[in-house]
């Protein structure tokens, strides 16, 4: 029983971590490499979840729902970049925050007007609604799919940034855009593609989260805060750092919420432990971030310059 509980929480932490990475990867590209503070990244996650919910409900195909989420994130990302974001690159970070916070309010009200305040739910196909046995323990097959998708995105992002020519141009453009532009590279198009990619990854995260969460207006803000914690812990601008930090945060949060109340029962009454344990567990990732900032301000896995 104890081993089953530990294994279940380790897998839950891993699944939560890779889901955070899907969000953190896109935000790292935009925030860490382009130096643009995009608070509307959580809204793109929400729009991806809504697109998946609506299309899956209309077609009974979750695969089409995921495709619709990717398309929605890409299109909305390109429109945002063209209409608003591209005009703010040279502005102060405070302007980024104010503009994208306005977008958060707009998207939240838009989704509430279209779909109402009630949440939407996504039904999984039969092929993904079962369980997989591992060491005599059954775990939902869909959560294994989330882990697989997150690992695939991690590998693809690492290859794109460090091996592909476009990744070299992105890294060079983030350091010296004038020089890269003088060599004939369309920096504006490169930034638009990068922003759209980050938006697509956020929408993918929303689509993957939709079957295990309720899809509702404002769902992007809480997870955005945790995603920012992941980026700070991992190192701003480091995709690999975001991956490792997402796993650390996912495991810390999941194991803390499970075992901290149990541990507190050894020193306090059951009622006190049940009340204080979850509250303290919810603070663990922020305490972890504070320790990392105090000991290693650049993050645990900072991006290498040059």
The whole-angstrom separation of Cα 67 and Cα 282 is 33
Instruction: Give how far Cα 177 sits from Cα of 18, 171, 218, Å.
Output: 32, 9, 35
Partners of 120 in the beta sheet? 215
Q: Is 89 helix (H, G, I), strand (E, B) or coil?
A: coil
Contact 207, 48 (CB under 8 A): yes
- Report, as an integer, the average pLDDT of 252-256: 88
Confidence (pLDDT) at 305 = 55
| Cα atoms in the Cβ-side hemisphere of radius 13 Å centred on 20 | 33
pLDDT band at 175 (very low <50, low <70, confident <90, very high): low
pLDDT of 200 higher than 60: yes
Q: What is the per-residue pLDDT across 224-239, written as a single tens digit (0 to 9) for each?
A: 899 989 999 988 878 8
**What is the DSSP secondary structure assignment for residue 274, as one 8-state letter?**
H
Q: What is the per-residue pLDDT across 92-132, written as a single tens digit (0 to 9) for each?
A: 888 888 999 999 999 999 999 999 989 999 888 888 888 88
Cβ burial, residue 142 (10 Å; 0-12/13-18/19+): buried
Put residue 60 in one of left, alpha, beta given phi > 0 → left and psi -120 to 50 → alpha.
left
Q: What is the per-residue pLDDT across 257-302, written as a single tens digit (0 to 9) for each?
A: 888 877 777 777 777 777 777 778 778 889 999 999 999 988 888 8
Contact 164, 193 (CB under 8 A): no
Contact 235, 292 (CB under 8 A): no
Q: Is 120 helix (H, G, I), strand (E, B) or coil?
A: strand
Instruction: Tell me the backbone φ, ψ of residue 37, rounded to 5 degrees.
Output: -85, 105
Concatenated DSSP letters of 155-188: HHHHHHHHTSHHHHHHHHHHH-HHHHHHTT--HH
Q: What is the per-residue pLDDT across 60-87, written as a single tens digit (0 to 9) for each?
A: 889 999 999 999 999 999 999 888 888 8
Helices (H), 84-140: 93-115
Whether pTM exceeds 0.75: yes
The helix or strand, by DSSP H or E, that contains position 228, with its residue range, turns out to be helix 220-234
pLDDT of 174 higher than 70: no
Least confident of 29-33, 44-48, 174-178, 242-246: 174-178
Check residues 293 and 188 and name the one with the higher pLDDT.
293
- Report, as an integer, the average pLDDT of 147-154: 92
The whole-angstrom separation of Cα 185 and Cα 235 is 28
The helix or strand, by DSSP H or E, that contains position 133, with its residue range, turns out to be strand 131-134
């Amino acid at each position: 029983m104890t081993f089953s509980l530990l294994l279940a929480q380790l897998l839950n932490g891993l699944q939560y971590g890779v889901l955070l990475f899907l969000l953190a990867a896109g935000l790292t590209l935009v925030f860490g490499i382009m130096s643009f503070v995009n608070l509307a990244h959580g809204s793109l996650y929400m729009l991806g979840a809504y697109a998946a919910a609506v299309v899956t409900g209309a077609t009974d195909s979750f695969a089409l729902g995921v495709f619709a989420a990717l398309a929605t994130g890409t299109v909305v990302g390109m429109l945002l970049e063209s209409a608003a974001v591209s005009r703010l690159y040279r502005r102060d970070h405070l302007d980024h925050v104010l503009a994208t916070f306005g977008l958060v309010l707009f998207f939240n009200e838009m989704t509430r007007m279209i779909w109402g305040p009630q949440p939407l739910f996504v039904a999984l196909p039969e092929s993904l609604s079962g369980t997989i046995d591992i060491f005599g323990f059954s775990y939902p097959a869909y959560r294994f799919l989330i882990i697989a998708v997150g690992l695939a995105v991690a590998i693809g992002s690492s290859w794109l940034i460090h091996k592909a020519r476009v990744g070299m141009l992105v890294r060079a453009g983030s350091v010296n855009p004038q020089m890269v532009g003088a060599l004939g590279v369309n920096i504006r198009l490169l930034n638009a593609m990068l922003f759209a990619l980050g938006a697509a990854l956020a929408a993918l995260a929303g689509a993957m989260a939709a079957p295990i969460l309720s899809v509702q207006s404002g769902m992007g803000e809480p997870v955005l805060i945790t995603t920012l914690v992941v980026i700070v812990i991992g190192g701003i601008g480091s995709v690999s750092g975001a991956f490792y930090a997402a796993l650390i945060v996912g495991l810390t949060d999941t194991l803390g919420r499970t075992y901290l109340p149990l541990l507190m029962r050894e020193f306090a009454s059951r009622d006190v432990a049940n009340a204080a344990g979850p509250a303290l567990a919810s603070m663990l990732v922020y305490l972890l971030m504070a320790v990392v900032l105090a000991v290693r301000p650049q993050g645990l896995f900072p991006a290498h310059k040059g």
